[in-house]
Amino acid sequence: MRTAAKFTLAVITFTATLVVQAKTLDAKNYGAKGDGTTLDTAAIQKSIDAAAKSGDTVTFSPGTYLTGSLFLKSGITFEVPEGVTLIGSQHLADYPLLPTRIAGIEMTWPAALINTRDQHDVTITGKGTIDGDGPIWWKSYWDLRATYEPKGLRWASDYDAKRPRLMLLQNSTKIHLGGGITLKRSGFWTVQVLYSHAIVIDGVTIRNNEGGKGPSTDGIDIDSSHDVLVAHADIDVNDDALCLKAGRDSDGLRVNRPTYNIVLRDSIIRHGAAAVTIGSETSGGFRNIEAYNITALAGVPSGVLFKSAHTRGGFAENIRIHDLTLEGVAIPIHVTMNWNPSYSYATIPAGVDRATMPSYWTTLTTVVPDDKGLPHFRDVHIWNIKATGAKTAIQVAAYPNATLDNFRLDHLDIETRTAGTIADAKDWKLSDNTITTADGSKVQILKPGEAPAKEGTAFGDR
SS3 at position 308: coil
For 399, which DSSP code? B
Q: How many Cβ atoms from other residues are within 10 Å of residue 98's Cβ?
A: 16
Residue in 142, 104, 165 with CA at minimum distance from that of residue 366: 104
Q: What is the DSSP pairing of strand 105-110 with strand 97-102?
A: antiparallel
* CB 160, CB 214: distance < 8 Å: no
pLDDT for the residue 147: 97
* Residues 377, 394: Cα–Cα separation, whole Å: 16
For 349, which DSSP code? P
Own/partner long-range contacts of 427-430 (Cβ < 8 Å, ≥24 apart): 428/404
Paired strand residues for 327 = 388
| CA angle 357–362–366, rounded 5-degree value | 155
CA quadruple 104, 106, 111, 113: dihedral, nearest 10: 20
pLDDT per residue as tens digits for the range 16-43: 444 444 799 999 999 999 999 999 999 9
- Tell me if the domain spanning 1-239 has CATH number 2.160.20.10: yes
pLDDT for the residue 452: 65
SS3 at position 350: coil
Residue in 201, 210, 257, 211 with CA at minimum distance from that of residue 236: 210
Rounded to 5 degrees, what are φ and ψ at 398? -135, -120
Question: How many CA atoms lie within 13 Å of 231's alpha carbon, on the beta-carbon side?
Answer: 12
* Residues 202, 208: Cα–Cα separation, whole Å: 18
Q: What are the CA-CA distances from residue 170 to residues 84, 108, 193 (Å)?
A: 25, 14, 6
Domain regions of the chain by residue span = 1-239
SS3 at position 298: strand
* CB 135, CB 208: distance < 8 Å: no
* CB 309, CB 283: distance < 8 Å: no
Residue in 138, 137, 197, 130 with CA at minimum distance from that of residue 166: 130
Q: Which helix (H) or strand (E) holds 13?
A: helix 2-16
Residue in 270, 267, 163, 288 with CA at minimum distance from that of residue 225: 288
Q: How far is CA 260 from the centre of its chain?
A: 14
Three-state SS for 363-384 is HHCCCCCHHHHCCEEEEEEEEE
The low-confidence residues of the chain, meaning pLDDT below 50, are 1-21, 455-462
- One-letter identity of residue 272: G
pLDDT for the residue 426: 95
* CB 52, CB 75: distance < 8 Å: yes
Who's near 47: CB < 8 A, 6+ residues apart?
A: 25, 26, 27, 29, 30, 32, 58
Q: How many Cβ atoms from other residues are within 10 Å of residue 99's Cβ?
A: 10
**Start-to-end C-alpha separation, the chain:** 35
| CA angle 16–165–293, rounded 5-degree value | 50
pLDDT for the residue 211: 85
Q: How far is CA 171 from the centre of its chain?
A: 17
* Residues 327, 325: Cα–Cα separation, whole Å: 7
* CB 330, CB 296: distance < 8 Å: no
Own/partner long-range contacts of 105-110 (Cβ < 8 Å, ≥24 apart): 105/159, 105/248, 105/251, 105/252, 105/360, 105/363, 105/364, 106/251, 106/255, 107/159, 107/360, 107/363, 109/162, 110/69, 110/162, 110/163, 110/164
